[in-house]
Structure 1
């Protein structure tokens, strides 16, 4: 890749791994996102969704607990046509 990947590229890769059932890879990539941008609530939400997809409900609870402790909330998205 000729440029340093942005968080959008990383999150797209996490989503692609999740869609194709590569949940271990998706989890490691999502953890990388959380470590590189710990203030971005969307990264924690993505990690939580990976845990949910894998049926790891303890992981989901842990991510949500961390979000509460750090007072992180993901802004709701919207679109207009």
Structure 2
């Protein structure tokens, strides 16, 4: 199994949440989510759960657009 992670800083997540027009997710919800991902979604833990490969997908924090990030990955069906 291959896992793609989308690591974002809590500040980036909060900024993205503020940019949304919907308001059903609070800043506290975003911060709680960020805390869980920091604790639970690390490479070692994912490999323990069966991931053979763990790749971090770059994003805004790395100055990469979604289209640029998508071009970095190619998947083939078996």
* TM-score > 0.5, shorter chain as reference: no
Going by fraction, where is strand more abundant, 1 or 2? 2
TM-score (norm 2): 0.27
